């Protein structure tokens, strides 16, 4: 079920982000970014639906990557996915070491009335405020890429900026600590962000360890019906699917059927 493309050289990306943050802080103090963020409309809610039984609709998040095209093409893709019925979009721009995701994030949040989840590698509070200023509604914070103190700080900063903190975990220890932070959403990952290896902990065990008042999503982007069915069997509240799966008219009806959604 781990179908997401691996993040290339996550250690290098994290190092590049730290350098980026240092340069950005020198150019634009965080107070100025906070002022811009305060001018943005309130972030759209993410995963607000509360399933009442196994037949309740599952939130559908469509995957978008910066590699899918330039800004204009990304804007068009976002609009197509919104028209196809996506509840939210997940944007990943960290394929390379050059940080240019903010422009893409702004482009998408201004072109659609859907929550956009930023999946980029977050290493500093500054990036969270920037994402808020760019219109993000939620951020993925990867427990495996930071120590507990930093994770606590970043979850708190995300929540103070009225965005949804999605804490990504891939073992039971991370689940336990993540829940102590009371995030609204926990993302189960079957891939270690640093090693790229599959987790030794079955996804079902991770799901069982998450309290019922916390929303659960799979971190991996799903590309087949079998992947989606397996996710539904885990009783998650949301899934991320590849855009082609949703946009293909031959696949959409089956996808909706699996997710208990009405066309």
**Model pLDDT for residues 212-241, shown as the tens digit of each residue:** 789 999 999 999 999 999 999 999 999 999
130-188 pLDDT, tens digit per residue, is 999 999 999 999 998 889 999 999 999 999 999 999 999 999 999 999 999 999 999 99
User: Residues 245-253: what's their mean pLDDT?
Assistant: 91
Domain count, the chain: 1
The answer on pLDDT for 3 being more than 50 is no
Rounded CA separation 183/177 (Å):
11
- CA max distance for the chain: 52
The answer on pLDDT for 95 being more than 60 is no
* Percentage of the chain lying above the pLDDT 90 cut: 61
What are the structure tokens assigned to 82, written together?
């919104």
Name the residue with higher pLDDT: 226 or 100.
226
The mean predicted confidence, pLDDT, of the chain is: 86
Range of the domain at 112: 10-258
In sequence order, what are the beta bridge partners of 259?
Answer: none
User: Residues 79-100: what's their mean pLDDT?
Assistant: 81
2 assigned to some structural domain: no
1 assigned to some structural domain: no
5 assigned to some structural domain: no
164 assigned to some structural domain: yes
User: Residues 50-65: what's their mean pLDDT?
Assistant: 77
**What values do phi and psi take at 149, rounded to 5?**
-65, -45
What are the structure tokens assigned to 67, written together?
């590699």
pLDDT at 6: 44
Rounded CA separation 141/196 (Å):
17
Cα dist from 220 to 58, 119, 179, whole Å: 16, 11, 20
226 assigned to some structural domain: yes
Residue 128 binned pLDDT confidence (cut-offs 50, 70, 90): very high
Task: Output the domain CATH number for residue 136.
Answer: 3.20.20.70
156 assigned to some structural domain: yes
The answer on pLDDT for 257 being more than 60 is yes
19 assigned to some structural domain: yes
User: Residues 9-23: what's their mean pLDDT?
Assistant: 77
263 assigned to some structural domain: no
- Give yes or no for a contact between 91 and 115, defined as CB atoms under 8 angstroms apart: no
Of the candidates 263, 214, 261, which has an alpha carbon nearest to the alpha carbon of residue 236?
Answer: 214
């Amino acid at each position: 079920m781990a179908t997401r493309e691996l993040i290339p050289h996550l250690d290098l990306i994290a190092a590049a982000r730290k350098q980026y943050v240092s340069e950005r802080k020198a150019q634009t103090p965080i107070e100025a970014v906070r002022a811009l963020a305060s001018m943005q409309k309130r972030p759209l809610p993410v995963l607000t639906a509360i399933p009442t039984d196994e037949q309740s609709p599952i939130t559908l998040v469509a995957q978008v990557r910066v590699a899918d095209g330039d800004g204009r093409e990304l804007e068009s893709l976002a609009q197509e996915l919104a028209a196809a019925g996506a509840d939210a979009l997940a944007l990943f721009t960290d394929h390379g070491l050059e940080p240019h995701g903010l422009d893409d994030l702004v482009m998408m949040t201004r072109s659609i009335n859907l929550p956009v989840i930023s999946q980029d590698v977050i290493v500093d509070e500054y990036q969270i405020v920037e994402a808020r200023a760019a219109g993000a509604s939620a951020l993925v914070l990867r427990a495996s890429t930071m120590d507990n103190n930093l994770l606590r700080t970043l979850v708190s900063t995300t929540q103070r900026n009225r965005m949804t903190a999605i804490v990504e975990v891939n073992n039971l220890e991370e689940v336990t600590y993540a829940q102590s932070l009371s995030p609204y959403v926990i993302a189960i990952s079957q891939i270690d962000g640093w090693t790229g290896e599959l987790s030794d902990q079955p996804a079902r065990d991770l799901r069982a360890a998450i309290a019922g008042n916390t929303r659960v999503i799979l971190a991996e982007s799903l590309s087949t019906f079998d992947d989606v069915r397996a996710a539904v069997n885990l009783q998650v509240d949301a899934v991320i699917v590849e855009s082609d799966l949703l946009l293909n008219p031959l696949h959409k009806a089956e996808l909706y059927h699996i997710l208990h959604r009405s066309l």
